[in-house]
Structure formats: structure tokens, C-alpha cells
Structure 1
Amino acid sequence: MVTSTNIPSGYNTPIPSTILTPDRVETRIGRLEFSDGFPSGETARKVFDHLDFLRAVEVFLQCVPAASMEGLRTGFASVGCDSAQTMVIADRLLDSNPLFLTGNTDTVYAIAMLDLGRDGPTVVQIPPGCGPGTVNDAWFRFVTDMGAPGPDRGAGGDYLLVPPGYKGEIPDGYHVAHSTSYTNLLALRGFLVDGKTDAATQMFETGVKIYPLSAADERPEMTFISISGAAVNTIHANDQTFYAEVADVIRREPIEMIDPETRGLLASIGIHKDHPFNPDERMLATLTDAAAVGNATARAICFQTRDPRAYYYPDRSWKTGFVGGDYRWLDGDGRSGRNMDARTLFFYQATLNTPAMALEMVGVGSQYAISERDATGAFLQGGSSYQLTLPPGIPAKDFWSLIAYDPQTRSELQTGQPLPSRSSVNNRNELTYNDDGSIDLLFGPEPPSEHRGNWIQTVAGKSWYAILRLYGPLKPWFDKTWIPNDIERR
């Protein structure tokens, strides 16, 4: 029965209380005030500031891949890698001087930044014997693999990378890949031979050719610039300049590279393809705060993850970089949508996106396990000594490695050792194995009294974390019959 007592003043019928707004509401951003549903001027100001902040934090988290690619582009350009015919090469391996997200110390990198907007369709010739190679677009999305996991299957071949919107003829004889962006990262890796880089370096310097399809008859000469030992930064900003990096990407790339929702999110904080990015004083303060919160959020996702699927084993601290097992971070075959936190966990600390890193490919590609904690759950500290025992039968057809990283830079830990790592290929003559085939890797600021060849140096007062890599991972890794121990304090 309807009575006058449940009809609010000013209405003719009962009105559910759930749809009404009180005159005062206490929230996490303070008191919000209304006059019969009309927000006060102060409330409107407060919620709009908060909306700008929320969107700016979301831009930080969603756009880490784009900013990371921009960091690589500008970093390599700073050492002269500013054309498709110029490659940077770690001809003496990637040591800890270059700031490079979780790079490895045990393969020879050869990297080029391609500009398909400038050069049009671009030919990449790779020689036989290339290790895993990958091309990613300006948003770090997968374009194609090359080398062993690619369509040439390690036999070498000619690839043609086609820019977005290209309407011209595509000739036969190429492995063709279409990119959604103009900027593309090409990263090739070569393996050591007898513990040396010479063969891989020669393979790249004599066998890799990159040129515009339009210049096939007069191919420019290749140039290789060593980044071994170079002090160069390739990592995106973690402060408000992050947004300027993203704005540069949006201005340079075709508008169709990202979906309308992402374009709208960016435009809501002033990042627009057709307009300069010029935040006013209020917005700059908001972006400064949002970058700090976005950075903290990314670090929490990486190093304090709340997703139990990130862990390989229920009783170990080792984690995967590909939560959900999909290189696109699509949960449940896509029915759960894109796992945004899983994507952030990967790209905040790593580069190169390829199915070969996420799929079960026995004997092919590579697999990774990450740990920033000891067996008690405490973060790893550089002033303490630790031991990691890898059980016998390490399931790697090609080789294994363990590298120490700096949680600040997510790059190799800078110590007295240029290569803060141990591997079965690079250190094979130094490593001491136990009688049962297991190996004890040792960590600490000072060398141990024995088995010094198993030692990775750390720095007192500096935290660190570890990544175990298996190249050519074997079945015991995938079926979890081989399980690495946790890192233990000595």
C-alpha cells in the first residue's frame, strides 16, 4: 500500500532511495555536497580533478608498452642508430652499462629500429643460424618472429615488413608481415660458439641486410654500432615526462594504431594526435601525482603481485612473466578480456613480445622464471649472502643462465662484474657442479672462499632480483617434474 510516508517531499509516487543522492556524502576524496542532486561548484571541481587523476593513472598503466618502445627508440638514436641500415649490436655481450629492461648477458643482440612511414615496405634479410628474432610494433605488439621460431625455421630468409595503409603491390618471395605502426623494433639474437661472440657477430655483420623495397636495386650499406660497455638509457620515464613520451608516439604513428577508447582516454588528459601536448599548471600537477601513483602501482603489480597464477609452484617464489600464458594477455581464451595487470607485470620489466615466450614449445625458444625473494619471503638484499641450488638435469637443450637485476632500473645489476650472471655457456669452464649434477649458485657482495666461478656479485645497500632462463626448454620444465629451489640466505 502506498502511503504519504513513503513518498518523498516533492514527488507524487514512491522513489527508491537507491537512486537518490544525499546532500552530503563522505568519500575517499572528501565530502561531496549537493543541493537536491545538483553538485556544488566545489564538489564539481573536486571530482573533475579526481577524474583527471584516475585517467592519467590509467594512461600510465595502459601505455607502458608504448613508452617503453619510445625509450628504446630514443636511446638507440642517441648512439647513432637512426636509420634502418644501422643496427646496434652487443658484440661483446650486453653488460650492465646500458640501461635495458632485463636484457640477457648470454646472447649477441643485433637490434634495429625501423620506420615504415619514412621507408615504406622494408626488406629484412637474415642469415641461416639466427637465434630467436622478433619484430614488435610501436605498442610492443607482436608482428612476426624470425630465425628459429619464425617461418624461416632457422634457415634464413627474406622478410618484408609492410606499413599500415599500404596499397601497393607486394612481390612474391618474401615472408610478409603487416604492422599496425610505422615504428617497429627488430631484435635478433645469436648464440655463443665455444663461449665466444665472434661467430654470431660475423653472422650479423655479414649476413643481415635491411633496406626499403624501393631501394632493392641500390641497397644502402649496413652499419653496426656496438652497445657493449656503452652508457645509454633505453628505459621510459617514471615521472610526469612519461606522458610526453607517449604524446610523441601518438603524434608520430597512424591514428588507427590504437582503438577509439584508448584514443579517448589519452585525449581526456591532453594527448591528441592533432594537437600539441601542453598541460597547464593544474594538469601538470595532476600528471606528476598520477605518474607517481602509476609507477607505484606498476611496481606493486610486478613485485607484490596479488595474482596467484603468477607463481609457477605453490611452494616457491618463482614467477612467470606471462600470467595467463597468452602473449596478448587474453584471459580464458579472451572471454575474460585482456588482463591489464598481467600486461603491466610484463612490460614494466621486460621487452620483446612473441608467442614463443608464452607457448609450450619443447626444445625451441626460451622460458623465464623470476624471483625477488628468498625462501622466507623476504626481498633479496645485496649486503647478504645467498645460495640457489638448481637440481640435476636442468631442462635446457641449448643452455641455462641466471642473471641478477636492479629493481630500480629493471636492468642488469651494476657491480664489479661487468656481466652479473652465470650461465652454462658463457661460464662453462668456471662452473663447479655437485657430484649429483646439481649446481649451487652463490650471491653476495664478497667472493666466497670456494666455488668462486659460481658467484654472482651483489652490492651492499642495494636490492636485487633474479631471472632464470632456459634456452631450448625441455619437457621437465613444462610438466614441472624439474623444480628449482628458492634462493636461500647463507
Structure 2
Amino acid sequence: MRRSLTAGVALVLSIVAAQAQTPDDIAARNIQRRAVEAMIWAMPAVNYDLMLQEMLSKTAGTVGQAIYWGRPLDWHNQTLTPNPDALYFMVFFNTKDGPVVLDLPSGDANGSFNGNIVTVWQMPLEDAGLLGADKGKGGKYLILPPGYTGKAPDGYIALQSDTFGGYMLFRSNLRSHGADDVAKSIAYGKQLKIYPLALADNPPPTVFTDVKDIGYDSTIRYDASFFEHLDRIVQNEPWLQRDRAMIDPLKTLGIEKGKPFNPSDSTKALLASAAREAGALLEAKYDAGLPPFFSETSRWTFPAPTDVVKAAQEAYADPDVYPIDNRGMAYSYAYIGIKRLGAGQFYLISIRDKDGRAFEGDATYRLTVPPNAPVEQYWSITAYDRQTHALIKNMSRASRSSQIADMQKNADGSVDVYFAPAAPAGKEANWVPTDPARKFELMFRAYAPTKALFDHSWKLPDVERLAATVGGSTR
């Protein structure tokens, strides 16, 4: 009886409180509430636009060209969880004026690549390269605009997009980080071409811009600027049928197709508050942990919630499933969509050590990669800033990989990789530096993974904390 009476009093008090609110109070709460939901829903598209705008504002590159990083990625590249052990080429395209061709090279003695082609919403259209649709033979991928009714010409791999914009991430594989192999990887990547289908008979040369020394920062901004990016998406892209329920909520925020987005100062303050709240929600969701991969107790997890991976690979075809919350979380720490995750590449994430503690930048950790890693290409392990999910700033390097010839191996063929502010004695070649003032997270990459990874006959052990580090020494 006492419990029901207490609940009843609480209900009455909440009703009274609601009645005491002014219309302005209610309108403000509505903006805040809808802005939080909009931010979570729009995360993959704004993630895309952040990368696009960074290219347009910081580099000489533009849509329909290729930018590339002319050395293995370092902290100047502040995209979300990138791979420092491949040469990155990015190509943004737009099909408003008609279909666009991505003409990609075959793999040979001079090089090979792993690529992914996605829409504005980072829905995978196709994987390309050694384990993609062309199986390493190269091919002409034809991006068709929304509503396209023409017949694709013979000889093309036609991809029907539901957005005008999109991009390709082309990873030119490295044999090593040596200068000669880097130069070969760049030369190989420059064989890719992009041009309008209308100019296919005499395509213009593709323009390449090296952006390796540019501070390229597309990390998520949890402030009111997020909604400026969202407005740009709404103005330039068609509404997808599955997202039409967001049309009115966005009008509440002042975002409406065909109209300028010009929020008042009070609305900007509400949007900024909502962005911080959405960021806190996504961070709490991420911190709770992704599904474990090797066992229920493993600290290595799938790279994203499995419902997001499945929905994206199926182009959200299931009318009863639309994992917006998990999708928002996934694109808060990573980018790109992969059509066949586990064929060309697979990723594992760890945000905690063997004992369940967060990774601290001032401590020393060891990961032992067992022998006979289940990859036909290479494996790598990368440390990222736990807060931004980008490469840790001002570090001399971010990763170690099986491509590094001078890494020390143990007698059984295993490899110990260390994460610490200073290299343990004699372990420089096996060391990834960390910032003692910041937490970090780890991603293990397996390129061309084999069955042993997925049947768990080969297991990656959890990372062990060895000691706290003080003044370059351990205790």
C-alpha cells in the first residue's frame, strides 16, 4: 500500500510540474529531445560530411578527384580509427549529373588493394580489390544515381545508390613501411581512375592530391555545428523512405529541405546541450562494451554491434529492424561500410585489459600475438585516443604489424607488442607509444582472415597490464 501511495504522489507531482511549465519551456524541451534523437540517427551521414568538408576546406582536392596520404598514416590524420599500415586513397563522388565510374586496377606484382564503396549514409554498395567483387582482377565500378532507369553498359559492375554522394576508401597494400615499398604502393594506387560515364570513351586524367602533412580532422563534434552538417545532408540528398519519420522532428530544429537553417542564439544553445547529451549517451553505450568475440569473458569484441553489421549488409531490407541507436554508436568511433565483413578484412576492438580496467596512457601493457596468425595478408594492432577515437596526437607511430620486419619474435613464433609512454628496455621495435595524460583503446586488424579466426581455433589473448609508468621507468 505504501509503495502504491508513493508512486501516486510522484505521479501527481510530475503532472503539477508539467502544468507549471510555460509554452516556451515546453518548446525548448521539445527541441532538446528531438535534437538528441536526430544526432544519434544522423551520425553516419554527418560522419561522412565531416570528412568531405575537411577535404574541401583544408586541401586542394575536390569531389571527383583523389586525395591520398603519401606515407603510412600518422596523427596528422584525425579520421576515426584509421589504419596506419596501408596507404590511404579517398575518392568522393557525386552522381547528380549522371553515373560515375570508379576504374580500379588489378592486383599484380606491383601492388594490390582492399577497397570499399559506400553511400552518404555509409551503407556499403560493394567491396573491391583482392577479396571484393572483382577478386583482384580490377574492374569498372559504375555508381548509378537515385532513381536511375537507364541500362548500365556492358563491362561494368553496376551499383545502384540511393544517395547522390558517396565515397570510396582505397587501401593500397604495403609490403613494408620502407621507403621503396611506400613509393611502390603510391604508384600502384595512382592507377585508379574516376570519371563520369559520359566521358568514358575519352576519360580525363584523375587528379591526385597528397595530404600527408595536413591536419585532417573529421572527429565527431559534440556541439551545435553537428546540425550544420546535418542540414547540408538534408539540402543535398533525397529523403530515404525509411527515414521520412525524421522530416517533422528536423523541422522543429529549423532543418527543412529548401529552406535556410538559421537557428536563433537560444536554439543554438539548446542544440549544443543536446549534442553533449547525445555524446554522453553514445559514450555510455560504447563503454558498456560491444559483443565479445572469442568467448563471453574475452576483452576482444566485434567491431560493431552485430545487428548493425547485418542490417547494413542487407541494405536495411528487414522492415522490422532498424538499429539506429547502435548505428549511431558505431559511427561515433569509426567510418566506412563493409559489404562482406570477414572476407577482405576483420577487426577486433578492446577498450579494457585482462582485468577489466580501462587502458591508461601512463601504464605499460603487453599483448602477445600467438604464432600462425590467421591471415593471408597481414595483421596489425593500433592504439587510438579513447576520447576522440583518432590516432593519438604527437606520437611517433601508432601501430605495429606483421609487415614490420625488425619486430622481435619469441621462440614459439609469437610476438609481444608493448603499449607505454616509453619503450621497455630492448623492445623499441615492438613498442607502440601512448600519451601518459590520455586513455587509449586498441584495434586488431586481420586482412584476408582465415577460418581459424572465426572458429576460434586461434585466439587473441587479452592485453595484460604490466606496471604503472613513472618518468620513463616502470614500477
Query: TM-score, normalized by length of structure 2?
Result: 0.88
Contact 1:238 1:291 in 2 (8 A): yes
| Equivalences for residues 224-239 of structure 1 within 5 A | 224-239=208-223
Label 1:165 to 1:183 Cα distance change in 2 as closer, same or farther (>3 A). Answer: same
Distance 1:167 1:311 in 2: 43
**One-letter amino acid of the structure 1 residue matched with residue 413 of structure 2:** G
Residues 197, 356 of structure 1: alpha-carbon distance in 2 compared, 3 angstrom cutoff: farther
Paired position in structure 2 for 1:477: 453
Q: 2:16 aligns with which of 33, 36, 39?
A: 33
Aligned to 1:199: 184
Q: CA deviation at 1:303?
A: 2.4
Structure 2 residue matching 1:56: 3-state secondary structure: helix
Q: CA deviation at 1:406?
A: 0.7
Confirm or deny: 8 A CA contact 1:310 1:323 kept in the other structure. no
Q: Displacement, 1:267?
A: 2.3
1: CA distance, partners of 2:412 / 2:23: 69
Structure 1 residue 269 and structure 2 residue 260: aligned? no
Deviates more, 1:370-379 or 1:280-289: 280-289
> Which residue number in structure 1 is paired with residue 440 of structure 2?
464
Aligned pair 1:71/2:50, yes or no?
A: yes
Change in Cα spacing, 1:51 to 1:328, as seen in structure 2 (3 Å) is: farther
Amino acid in structure 1 at the alignment position of 2:280: A
Matched, 1:126 2:104: yes
Secondary structure in structure 2 of the residue aligned to 1:327: helix
For structure 1, the residue ranges without an aligned partner over 5 or more in a row are 1-17
Q: 1:372 to 1:256 in 2, by over 3 A?
A: closer
Larger RCO (CA within 8 A; separation ≥ 6): 2
Verify the 8 A CA contact 2:311 2:317 in the aligned structure 1: no
Shift of 1:321: 1.8
Which letter does structure 1 place at the counterpart of 2:381? L
Unaligned segments of structure 2, at least 5 residues? 467-475
8 Å CA contact retained: 2:368, 2:417: yes
**Equivalent-residue separation in structure 1 for 2:22 and 2:369 (angstroms):** 59
* CA–CA distance in structure 2, aligned partners of residues 463 and 256 of structure 1: 38
Amino acid at match of 2:16: E
Q: Which moved more, 1:286-295 or 1:144-153?
A: 144-153
1:255–1:273 CA contact under 8 A, matched in 2: no
Superimposed CA distance per residue, residues 162-186 of structure 1 (whole angstroms, 9 cap, x where no aligned partner) = 1113344532221111111111111
Change (3 A) 1:67 1:326: closer
Distance 2:147 2:72 in 1: 38
1:49 Cα deviation from its structure 2 partner: 2.9
Partners in 2 of 1:76 and 1:100 — Cα distance? 11
The answer as to 2:164 corresponding to 1:182 is yes
Mapped contact 1:102–1:350 kept (Cα < 8 A): yes
Question: Which amino acid counterpart does residue 80 of structure 1 have in structure 2?
Answer: A
Q: Report the secondary structure of 1:166's partner residue.
A: coil
User: Are residues 471 and 24 of structure 1, via their aligned partners in 2, closer, same or farther at CA, if it must alter by over 3 Å?
Assistant: closer
SS of the counterpart of 1:464?
strand
SS of the aligned residue for 1:197 comes to helix
The match for 1:6 is: none
Contact 1:96–1:229 (CA<8 Å) still a contact in 2?
no
* SS of equivalent residue, structure 2 residue 235: helix
Aligned residues: 451
Q: Percent identity?
A: 27
Which position in structure 2 is the counterpart of 1:82?
Answer: 62
Equivalence map 1:67-466=2 (5 Å):
67-77=46-56, 78-84=58-64, 86-117=65-96, 119-129=97-107, 130-195=112-177, 196-205=181-190, 207-256=191-240, 259-305=243-289, 309-310=291-292, 312-324=294-306, 327-329=309-311, 334=318, 337-357=321-341, 361=342, 364-417=343-396, 419-425=397-403, 427=404, 429-466=405-442
Q: Confirm or deny: 8 A CA contact 2:132 2:344 kept in the other structure.
A: no
- Secondary structure of 1:33 counterpart: helix
With over 3 angstroms needed to count, the CA separation of the structure-2 counterparts of 1:250 and 1:328, relative to structure 1, is farther
Deviation of 1:354 after TM superposition, in Å, equals: 1.3
Tell me if the contact between 1:32 and 1:43 (Cα under 8 Å) persists in the aligned partners: no
Cα distance in structure 1, aligned partners of 2:21 and 2:219: 40
Q: 1:415 to 1:488 in 2, by over 3 A?
A: farther
> Aligned letter for 2:103?
Q
* Residues 247, 335 of structure 1: alpha-carbon distance in 2 compared, 3 angstrom cutoff: closer
Report runs of 4+ in structure 1 exceeding 6 Å deviation.
Answer: 330-333
1:334 Cα offset (Å):
4.4
CA RMSD of superposed structures (Å): 2.6
Matched residue SS, 1:411: coil
CA shift in 2, pair 1:421/1:45, >3 Å? same
Stretch moving more, 441-450 or 333-342 = 333-342
Larger radius of gyration: 1
User: Following the alignment from structure 2 to structure 1, what is the Cα–Cα distance between the partners of residues 232 and 202?
Assistant: 32
Residues 324-343 of structure 1 deviation map (CA, whole Å, 9 limit, x = unaligned): 26525479994862233321
Task: Give the CA deviation at 1:110.
Answer: 1.2
| Residue 395 (structure 1) shift | 1.3
The 1:334–1:161 alpha-carbon spacing in structure 2 relative to 1, beyond 3 Å, is: closer
The CA deviation at 1:259 is 2.5
Q: 2:220 & 2:204 partners in 1: Cα distance?
A: 31
Q: CA deviation at 1:112?
A: 0.8
Contact 1:91 1:108 in 2 (8 A): yes
Offset from partner CA, 1:307-333 (integer Å, 9 cap, x none): 6x3554222211112322652547999
Q: Residue type of the partner of 2:32?
A: F
Structure 1 pair 252/337, CA: closer, same or farther in 2 (3 Å)? same
Q: Flag the 1:223–1:257 CA change in 2: closer, same or farther, 3 A.
A: farther
Measure the CA separation in 2 of the matches of 1:80 and 1:224: 9
Shift of 1:100: 0.9
| Distance in 2 of aligned mates of 1:227 and 1:149 | 27
Q: Alpha-carbon deviations, 1:222-253, whole Å to 9, x = none? A: 12111223212223422111011101111111
